[in-house]
Amino acid sequence: MATEAQDLVAPLPPNTRGLDFTQALQTRSVAPATASAATSGPVVRTERLSIYYGNFCAVREVTLDVPLCQVTAIIGPSGCGKSTLLRAMNRMNDFIDGVRVSGRLLFNGQEVYGSVFDPVELRRRVGMVFQKPNPFPKSIFKNVAWGPAVNGYRGNLAELVEESLRKAALWEEVKDKLNKSALALSGGQQQRLCIARAIAMQPEVLLMDEPCSALDPIATARIEDLIDRLKTQYTVALVTHNMQQAARLSDRTAFMLMGELVEVDATSHLFTTPRDQRTQDYITGRFG
């Protein structure tokens, strides 16, 4: 267990920090996709997916694959629909009045918005980490254990909590204060606790909506290192405004603009040889 935890928190190459995205791409070391990732279909797939808030179309006919055990980054200016698209992947938009969806969204080939798929089960298998850390006003232990407990987990909860905190690179910092309030943790620790809370549900996919935007640079670096290691076990879809972060972390990047998916490609290709002029303009800072 200790060796596994150490492997999970090994840092990204230090010379990628503070570089622009082209330099980061040139220096990063990307692990090759596993055989299963290369040969299987996408874990999540949208097909001409449109999402409306009342009469306003926030996401327009987006077709996007999220491959197994890779990080897929979604970038674009504020209001382009990227967070709305991410929340659709585990039906978090269902909690917003007036939202309606057209097109298809598939999870492991099964229609998510079909009557057969239980949205509660979907959210267990597709976990989410939000922009701002949102720990429960409970102890650190209860934050991690609560979800599995209410969902009928039959194993050893203490072992599950420890394993989840280790995978989130937080165990060593909190193992002696598990009964203390989670609200006493720093912002970066709270965000890693929220990741542990999601991991404890034993999901297949982790959705992350700008998970570092409220954190300082040191905490951001730790979360980025963690995400880079988590993709060996989980499929990750990440929304970020930070293009350097997308270059450092992601295997594939999707660029959205005004609700439209402009293009999606391997990160190294999209940032260096984009096909669409709008992508080129955005990544070179001409707008956004």
pTM of the model: 0.85
Q: How far apart are CA 195 and CA 269, in angstroms?
A: 29
Q: What is the tens place of the pLDDT at every residue in 95-112?
A: 999 999 999 999 999 999
Residue 288 lies in a domain: no
Q: Comparing C-alpha atoms, which of 263, 237, 262 is closest to residue 250?
A: 237
CATH number at residue 214: 3.40.50.300
Strands (E) across the chain are located at 44-53, 56-66, 71-75, 99-107, 110-111, 126-129, 205-209, 235-239, 252-257, 260-266
Residue 37 lies in a domain: no
Average pLDDT, the chain: 87
Q: Per the structure, how many domains does the chain have?
A: 1
pLDDT given at position 151: 87
Q: What is the tens place of the pLDDT at every residue in 174-197?
A: 999 999 999 999 999 999 999 999
Could you please report the per-residue DSSP string of 206-225?
EEEESTTTTS-HHHHHHHHH
Residue 25 · residue 271 · CB < 8 Å: yes
Residue 36 lies in a domain: no
Domain span at 191: 2-31+42-283
Q: What is the tens place of the pLDDT at every residue in 21-52?
A: 555 555 454 444 443 444 468 999 999 999 99
Residue 47 lies in a domain: yes
